[in-house]
Chain A
Amino acid sequence: SAVISQKPSRDICQRGTSLTIQCQVDSQVTMMFWYRQQPGQSLTLIATANQGSEATYESGFVIDKFPISRPNLTFSTLTVSNMSPEDSSIYLCSVALRREDYEQYFGPGTRLTVT
């Protein structure tokens, strides 16, 4: 299994500002993903964080709004830029240990409120 930590666990931010969320895993992982969960909704994939290269974004998400870094196999950051109230969500980091491992693990999430 994998133990995933996220910082911060929650934050309240003003519109127009940016917040960087950190994801740390206790072991090297092949695949790392970022999801958004809007209030009362399901999980939507934002992007796949690729180690050493640009992230792969899903339709509707762009790098200028959600820049992602992944400098190594245990760490990634997601920045929510120029925030608006519509960005208020839970942001979850998720990992798959290796391509042979079917389970996908989730971090505890970052609860973001934009005022």
Chain B
Amino acid sequence: AQKITQTQPGMFVQEKEAVTLDCTYDTSDQSYGLFWYKQPSSGEMIFLIYQGSYDEQNATEGRYSLNFQKARKSANLVISASQLGDSAMYFCAMREGGYQAGTALIFGKGTTLSVSS
């Protein structure tokens, strides 16, 4: 079974609009971390935002926020006021066992976001 599921292969949004990228996860660990990365066409992996399983508040980083619903095992990324430069592939990822476990991230299949003017 997939550990990280991203059901949207592609999303389209107009500039200045908000967009939500979906991510659900599957783990039996009580301690885990959830991540979102952006990969533009250049190929680099850019860290966007992190949410720990014990964090009670949703994480926010500038225009990015993570809508964490623990009971539903979802960790959706919300991008407010989209910009043309947001066009990229977005990956949801999870580290099981919490950050102290030192285990590697497991990635979802990704969502391609296209922002138009």
Contacts and interface: CB of A to CB of B under 8 A. Distances in A.
A14 interface: no
Contacts of B50: 102-103
Interface of B: 33, 35, 37, 43-45, 47, 50, 52, 91, 95, 99-102, 104-110
Contact of B104 (A48, A90, A109): A48
26 contacts: A30-B102, A31-B104, A33-B104, A41-B109, A42-B91, A42-B107, A42-B108, A42-B109, A42-B110, A43-B45, A44-B107, A45-B104, A45-B105, A45-B106, A48-B104, A94-B104, A96-B102, A99-B101, A100-B100, A101-B99, A102-B99, A104-B95, A104-B104, A105-B47, A108-B43, A108-B44
In this complex, the interface size class of chain A, counting residues with CB under 8 Å from chain B, is: 20 to 34
A45 B109 CA distance: 13
Interface of A: 30-31, 33, 41-45, 48, 90, 92, 94, 96, 99-106, 108-109, 111
